[in-house]
Each structure stands twice: as C-alpha cells, then as structure tokens.
Amino acid sequence: MTIIDNSRTAALDLLRLVRDEGAYANLALSQVLKKHALNGRDAAFTVELAYGVLRNQLLYDTYIQQCSQREISTIEPEITDVLRMGVHQIVSMRVPDHAAVDSSVNLARGISSGGQAQARAGFVNAILRCVARNHDAGFEPQSDMSIAYSHPQWIIDAYRDSLIACGRDDSELENLLQANNLPAKPVVAVRFDDPEIDGTSPGRWSENARVLDSVIPQELVNGMESRIIVQDEGSQLVAQAFLLATPSGPESAWLDMCAGPGGKAALISDSVPQGVTFTAVELHEHRARLVKQVVTTSATVVVADARTRPWGNLFFDRVLVDAPCTGLGALRRRPEARWRKNASDLYGLNTLQEELLLAALDSTRSGGIVCYVTCSPHVEETRDILRTVLAERPDAHVEDARPLFPGVTDLGPGPTVQLWPHIHGTDAMFFALIRRN
Ligand SMILES: C[S@@+](CC[C@H](N)C(=O)[O-])C[C@H]1O[C@@H](n2cnc3c(N)ncnc32)[C@H](O)[C@@H]1O
C-alpha cells in the first residue's frame, strides 16, 4: 500500500467515526492521524479529503445520483463515503481522474470480501468514471443554492437575514457560502513572550495570531501548551475587545461566565492587572478542567450554572458572556456541523442566552461592562437577544463596539460588531458591548 493510499484509508476512517460514532471531525482527527502514522503532506491530504467530503456531501450526492440507477440512500454508507471521496478528488483536488477512480476502486475492494468485493469495485468504477465524464463536460449549473453550496436551506436563510440585518447586501450570500466551504487554515494565538514559531505567518488582524499552512503538528501543541492557544482569529479579536473595553472607575473583579474550553479565558487571564480577580465559570466539569489547564494560576475556575450566580453578591467591572449558540459562524472549522444542527436547536438556546445575559447584568456594577458574544451571526441569538433583554433592563444600554476592534475594516454601521469569513477571514463572531448605567 502506498503512502497516499494510507492517507485515503485514514480519511475513510475519519468519515466512519463521524458517521457511526457521532465524532467531531476536528477532535477525532489527531487520533486517526496517529493510528495511520501520518504527518506533513500526507496528513494534509487526509484532512482535505475528509473535510471536503463532509462539507460538500449534498452536492456530491447529487453528482453521484446523476450517475446511479440506484437510489443513493440504498447504497451501503461506507461505499457512499468511498464514492464521495472519489468525487472530491475529481472535482476539487488536483488528483488525475484515473488515480481518483483507481484508488477508490481499491478502497471499495479493501472493505469488502468475496464476490461482494468485485461487485462493489465495479459499481464504484462505473459511477466515478461517469462523474469524471460529466465533470469534463461541465456539470449542469445547480439553480438550488442549497445543493450548489451544500448547506441546509435554513442555514442559508439565517445567513441572508443576518447579512441584511447588518446592513450588508444579500448578494454577498454566495461569497459567504463559498468561504464556508474553503479549508480554514489553523491559527494559534501566542501568549506572553511572543515565541517564534517556524512555518507560520502573521495573522491578518491580531498581533498575537500565527497562521499555519495546514494541519497543526502535534509536536507544536505538545511542546508549547502554555505558550500558544489554538484559536480562530475572530475569537482572538473578541478577547482583545474585552480587554480594550473601559469600565468607568477603578477595577477589582472580572468574570467569564461561559469559559469552557478556555480559549478566551486564557488570553484574558494573561492580562488581568494586579489587584484584580478573574473568575471563570463553566457548567460542565470536563470543560472546566480544560479551562484550568490553560488559564494562569491566579484565575479561579468555578464549575456551576452561571445563571445561579455562584459568585453570590460580588459585582464585576467586566463580564464576558460567550454564550452557548448554534455555532453557525464556525462552520468552516467544523465540517460536519451543518448537517447535525437544525433550526429547532434555537428554542432552548434562546432562553439560555437571555437568562445568561440577565444574570450578567445583575452582577455588573454601575459603569461596568458586559460583552455578549456568540460564534453565530443568527439574528435570533444575537440582535434579538439584545433587544429582548434590554427591553426589560432600562439600567443598561448598548455602546458602539467598533472602537474595540482597532484596525479591523468593514465593520458595518455598528453599534454591534459582526465579523464574517468572506470579509474578515475569521469565524463569524458577534460582539455587543453593553454598559450598566
Ligand atoms: C461558546 S462556549 C464558550 C467558549 C469559550 N469562551 C472559549 O473561548 O473557549 C459556551 C460554553 O458555555 C458553557 N455553558 C453552557 N451553559 C452554561 C451555563 N448555564 N453556565 C455556565 N456555562 C455554561 C458550555 O458548556 C460551553 O463550554
């Protein structure tokens, strides 16, 4: 078996874990790469293949169906994955058609036995040759945006609403969907002493950001846990904005109400001034453990439901509410996520988001600030939450957050900030600055 076949076998393995065990591709990846002893370009090939298939599966299934008499839902799932991988190599990677077809036929043969192996290999061969011919001839353009960009329709509708609510033109929608389908380069935030990291380039906006070309080498993570945080540049900007905000008067206490796994808490804990306490709250024990591993030792990590205000009568100068959300702004980095979410997820989340924001306002002193953040641009978990909560709270108001993102261009009319993958090259983070009167 050649090295490159090993990469394809690993991609198939990753797809199986996502399909059968509900794994998150970005979390299962390191285990799969380790099992197949892959790194460097071979690891990058595996990631491109598996992530590409997960993102584009609706479009690829349409191409497969055009070539198959069999209804695609009746094809064995692992053979569907082999076919999707073949299609991705033909239409989106620079793999020659014959190599894409032959390697897929070998994979199909390898996961079957006896006469079944021959039949499956023949089936895969016929379908992929047909897809390659259609590709050469130019596929019929897809009029359905959901198929063309392989996104569920409700997510497309939510993006359109959000672009319009942010004063943008809905003609940007296709750029946004395209950006979601492009492999997002890994980004790390460097801490403290600004370590040099070989093979990285500077980020676009954040001084702390270092961008890697492809997969983050395990050696880097192992050797530098305390000096870097794997974190999209949008999240780095949000942590910086929290630090740049200006509560009136002297400060003594900061709070992160939804801290796990701790990316923002880590960057914040690095900058807590002398004499100021920093409390990081997280509902889930296992996520709170991750927070403890990355924050500086002076931070206090509390496992609790932040809505119960486990800090008692303490009032804070700054509070970060990085609320649990649908994550629609981070689909670039979570390739399978778009298929696992649905619009009904919003109902429970909206109540939780409102309650968390109310608890934050209840625990912020006069002149203090609350930063309400989501990694989603969905109007119902961003602007609508602010509108609902502030209608009940005349003791708080929204301020222009754009000055907290110095140097970042095209931030729209404010006062809230919405970052976009197709504009800023970051996850679509939402940030609102609220001040207690
Ligand atoms: C968007 S994530 C926060 C990401 C984090 N700030 C970071 O930068 O790594 C939301 C977190 O809130 C936690 N959470 C959910 N409900 C909560 C609650 N009621 N109280 C405290 N934390 C909660 C979730 O477990 C999740 O870890």
* Nearest to 12, CA basis, from 54, 41, 40: 54
Q: Which atom of ligand 1 is nearest to the CA of 260?
A: 27
Q: Please work out whether the CB of residue 262 comes within 6 Å of at least one atom of ligand 1.
A: yes
Residue 353 tokens read as 């988001």
Residue 334 tokens read as 């979570």
On whether the pTM is more than 0.75, the answer is yes
- pLDDT of 76 reads 95
Are the C-beta atoms of residues 106 and 68 closer than 8 Å to each other? no
Give the model's confidence band at 192: pLDDT under 50 very low, under 70 low, under 90 confident, else very high: confident
Annotated catalytic residues are: 375
Residue 328 tokens read as 């629609």
Residues counted in the chain: 437
Give me ligand 1 centre to Cα 374, in Å.
10
pLDDT in tens, 98-113: 999 999 999 999 988 7
pLDDT in tens, 409-422: 999 999 999 999 99
**What is the three-class DSSP state of 86?**
helix
Are the C-beta atoms of residues 426 and 419 closer than 8 Å to each other? yes
Q: Can you list the domains of the chain with their CATH numbers? A: 3-138 (1.10.940.10), 233-436 (3.40.50.150)
Take atom 6 of ligand 1 and give the residue whose Cα is closest.
259
- pLDDT of 6 reads 93
Query: Strands 364-374 and 430-436: what pairing?
Result: antiparallel
Are the C-beta atoms of residues 279 and 311 closer than 8 Å to each other? yes
- pLDDT of 1 reads 42
**What is the three-class DSSP state of 393?**
coil
- Rounded CA separation 204/187 (Å): 11
DSSP of 192-246? TT----TTEEE-SS-TTEEEESSSPPHHHHHHTTTTEEE--HHHHHHHHHHHH--
Mean pLDDT across the stretch 82-92? 97
Mean pLDDT across the stretch 372-376? 98
- Residue 403, classified by CB atoms within 10 Å of its CB into exposed (0-12), middle (13-18) or buried (19+), is middle
- pLDDT of 4 reads 52
Residue 27 tokens read as 């979390």
Q: Is a pLDDT exceeding 90 seen at residue 170?
A: no
Q: Is a pLDDT exceeding 80 seen at residue 270?
A: yes
- pLDDT of 225 reads 60
Are the C-beta atoms of residues 213 and 187 closer than 8 Å to each other? no
pLDDT in tens, 323-333: 999 999 999 99
- Rounded CA separation 378/383 (Å): 8
Give the lowest-confidence range in 57-61, 197-201, 246-250: 197-201
- Listed in sequence order, the DSSP H helices in 332-427 are 337-340, 345-362, 383-392, 421-424
Q: Please work out whether the CB of residue 264 comes within 6 Å of at least one atom of ligand 1.
A: yes
Give the model's confidence band at 200: pLDDT under 50 very low, under 70 low, under 90 confident, else very high: confident
Q: Which residues pair with 412 in a beta bridge?
A: none
Q: Which atom of ligand 1 is nearest to the CA of 324?
A: 10
Give me ligand 1 centre to Cα 258, in Å.
4
Q: Please work out whether the CB of residue 58 comes within 6 Å of at least one atom of ligand 1.
A: no
Give me ligand 1 centre to Cα 282, in Å.
6
Q: What percent of the chain has pLDDT over 90?
A: 85
Q: Please work out whether the CB of residue 282 comes within 6 Å of at least one atom of ligand 1.
A: yes
Q: Please work out whether the CB of residue 260 comes within 6 Å of at least one atom of ligand 1.
A: yes
- Rounded CA separation 274/248 (Å): 17
Q: Which atom of ligand 1 is nearest to the CA of 287?
A: 27
What value, to the nearest 5°, has the Cα angle with vertex 252 and ends 383 and 437? 40
Q: Is a pLDDT exceeding 50 seen at residue 386?
A: yes
**What is the three-class DSSP state of 435?**
strand
